Amino acid sequence: MTESISGEYTEYFGGKQNRQSRDLIVEEPLSIRVEGKPYSVVMRTPGDEIAHTAGFCLSEGIVEHPEDIADIGFCEQDQTNVATLTVTGKRRGSIERLLERKGFVSQTSCGICGKEIITDLLQVLTRATGNTVFEAEKIMACVESLSSSQPLHKKTRSAHAAAIFDREVNKMASAEDVGRHNALDKAIGKVFLDRRIKDACLGVMSSRLSYELVQKAGRAGLEMLVGISMPTSLAVNLADSVNMTLACAKNGRLMVFCGEGRINPGTHPGKPE
């Protein structure tokens, strides 16, 4: 499975031009089929297809537990790039309506307002009940450690990363992808398939936080999600609605937009100006 390929470009600098080459991140479609029918097509970086599919289906509300999965597989013959998931008969009976509305959670249609999106999402999300308190310095340390989980980004400068930590801020899983949503699905999927999702508590992203990422974190039961860029207003509203802590770590500062009760300020994580 190829995550990157060599690409050539012309560099103009100092009045001169030179042909150069560097690694480019690969972007390919992945067709996800549920119960034998097409459910969604996502553009992603090849790799971790089984975890990606499991994490995606967890975030969509198709599965709640690994035991809901009857079978999961991936076929890359003839470049079909198709992943399939079937659920148990018991689980299928509870998601019939969801399968009829395929993609309604992750794919926003034109004309849908923020309130309608949140109303839809609250049908498959539950409020975070945990009240784990994190020291600000440890959160910043988790963010700073993200670079060690980005070998593909160092190679291509084009990959997003996501990492999942437990309540003691031990790293549980990490993943990279051309798409930030895919990176989070892959990281969550790894923890989910390892049957350790109940221990997952904190998610760290190398990107801004949109409402879709809050949705995925909420489905995984995370209490906190931290990005390195500012969140959108809809992301803050959704996180607040499900009692999730949403924060941005930027320039040595930890900016918390909702759920401040889970933060122990301690020593200020940034350097005084």
Q: Which of 8, 95, 180, 263 is nearest to 254 (CA)?
A: 263
181 within some domain: yes
59 within some domain: no
230 within some domain: yes
Q: Which of 214, 227, 197 is nearest to 121 (CA)?
A: 214
Amino acid of residue 5: I
Do residues 72 and 54 lie in contact, with contact meaning Cβ atoms separated by under 8 Å? yes
Amino acid of residue 110: C
What residues make up the domain containing 165? 134-264
CATH code of residue 215: 3.40.140.10
Q: What is the pLDDT of residue 79?
A: 65
53: left (phi over 0), alpha (psi -120 to 50) or beta: alpha
| Distance (Å, whole) CA 200 – CA 117 | 25
Q: What is the pLDDT of residue 269?
A: 45
The catalytic residues are 110
**φ, ψ dihedrals at 68, nearest 5°:** -75, -15
Per the structure, how many domains does the chain have?
A: 1
CB neighbours of residue 146 within 10 Å: 20
DSSP 225-272: EEESSPPPHHHHHHHHHTT-EEEEEETTEEEEEE-GGGEE--S-SS--
For tokens 């249609």, the residue is 109
Q: Which of 99, 86, 135 is nearest to 263 (CA)?
A: 135
Q: What is the pLDDT of residue 43?
A: 85
Say if residue 156 is exposed, middle or buried (CB neighbours under 10 Å; 0-12, 13-18, 19+). buried
66 within some domain: no
Q: What is the pLDDT of residue 270?
A: 46
How many helices and strands, by DSSP H and E, does the chain display? 9, 14
30 within some domain: no
pLDDT in tens, the chain (273 residues): 688 888 887 776 777 778 888 787 887 889 899 999 999 888 899 999 999 999 999 999 999 999 999 999 998 675 678 999 999 999 999 998 888 765 544 543 334 455 666 677 777 788 898 999 999 999 999 999 999 888 999 989 889 999 999 999 999 999 999 999 999 999 999 999 999 999 999 999 999 888 889 999 999 999 999 999 889 887 898 899 999 999 999 888 898 999 999 998 875 444 443
Amino acid of residue 95: I
